[in-house]
Amino acid sequence: MDFYSVLEEAIISDDIGVKERLTLQALAYCNENEVRAEDGFVPKWFERPSYASKCHIVDPRELPARKDFDSPEGLATLIHAITHIEYSAIDLALDAVYRFPQMPTDYKKDWLVVAEDEIRHYKMLNRLLEGLGYAYGDFPVHCGLFDAAEHTAHSALERMAVVPRYYEASGLDVNPQIMKKLDNKRKNPHVKALIDALKVILDEEIDHVHKGDRWFKYLCAKEGLEESVYFEILERYNLLSKHRPHINVQARKEAGFACEEILKLGAKACD
């Protein structure tokens, strides 16, 4: 099996069925083989995200406000935004394997399992969209996560810090707040289905962030760096000053964050 060609095809495909088949194929291979960097292999630079063929990409400031969740369209815009995050996360997980072939096989397994989870999340959310009469690609999107992958393509350490330990960890903070806003509308079956989906996603994203935490710490130890380099990396990417009104302390602790880090990120208490 040409492992990295399979990953490349999975990353560039806009067909979720193809992504799923190739992800499972790569994971099965990893479970049976020690996967090492191939001689002469140089990861390709992807000029555009795979969803570019499906979605209209705009600047984040041009995205419509998501406030009216009472109408089918308003609820669909919210679900679409979350669906887009999950789709983007599929490619990010696959790219974490493809981009850093020098990493151990256990690392590759971890991120292929994450990709498998994200595919399931995407399919679950897209069914909710379809139930409202919409589909992925019906609303504009931004490419912030693709940009984050591009900016950290040179460093596995920075990728682990920025993607799972910053962006995915931020999702742990935001997800419960969305559920809270929707709670008084749960008599609507579409809203209830979304809340149920968000609960599944939250539980599994804790594990994803924990995987990122594991490999971030592995790389810190390997490179002889203090784990506090995390904050230096966030500062480098202008992420440290982002306002975080709600820190999910318990979820971040479960995902591997120390209280010292959680407090530095803005939590009022951590014990």
Q: What is the pLDDT of residue 86?
A: 98
Tokens at residue 22, please? 């190739």
Tokens at residue 21, please? 């088949």
State how far the Cα of 102 lies from the Cα of 108, in Å rounded to an integer: 10
Which of the four pLDDT bands, split at 50, 70 and 90, describes residue 265?
very high
Q: What is the mean pLDDT of residues 5-27?
A: 98
State how far the Cα of 14 lies from the Cα of 53, in Å rounded to an integer: 7
State how far the Cα of 119 lies from the Cα of 139, in Å rounded to an integer: 20
Model confidence at 241: pLDDT above 90: no
Tokens at residue 36, please? 């090492």
Question: Is residue 207 packed enough to be buried (19+ CB in 10 Å), middle (13-18) or exposed (0-12)?
Answer: middle
Which of the four pLDDT bands, split at 50, 70 and 90, describes residue 102?
very high
Model confidence at 39: pLDDT above 90: no
Across 60-69, 89-98, 150-159, 216-225, least confident range: 60-69
Task: Residue 7: name the closest of 94, 79, 74, 87 by CA.
Answer: 94
Give the mean pLDDT of the chain.
95
Contacts for 143 with CB less than 8 Å, ≥ 6 apart = 49, 52, 57, 88
Task: Residue 202: name the closest of 234, 220, 179 by CA.
Answer: 179
Radius of gyration of the chain (CA): 18
Q: What is the pTM of this model?
A: 0.96
Q: What is the pLDDT of residue 38?
A: 78
Query: Partners of 216 in the beta sheet?
Result: none
Q: What is the mean pLDDT of residues 220-241?
A: 96
Helix (H, G, I), strand (E, B) or coil at 57: strand
Q: What is the mean pLDDT of residues 27-49?
A: 91
Q: What's the start-to-end Cα distance of the chain, in Å?
A: 48
Largest CA distance in the chain: 57
| 167 φ, ψ (degrees, to nearest 5) | -70, -50
Contacts for 238 with CB less than 8 Å, ≥ 6 apart = none
Q: What is the pLDDT of residue 14?
A: 97
Helix (H) or strand (E) holding 205: helix 189-222
Query: Which class in CATH covers the domain with range 3-38+65-264?
Result: mainly alpha
State how far the Cα of 163 lies from the Cα of 93, in Å rounded to an integer: 9
State how far the Cα of 227 lies from the Cα of 32, in Å rounded to an integer: 33
Contacts for 95 with CB less than 8 Å, ≥ 6 apart = 11, 46, 149
Which of the four pLDDT bands, split at 50, 70 and 90, describes residue 68?
confident
Which of the four pLDDT bands, split at 50, 70 and 90, describes residue 211?
very high
Tokens at residue 215, please? 């490999």
The domains of the chain are located at 3-38+65-264
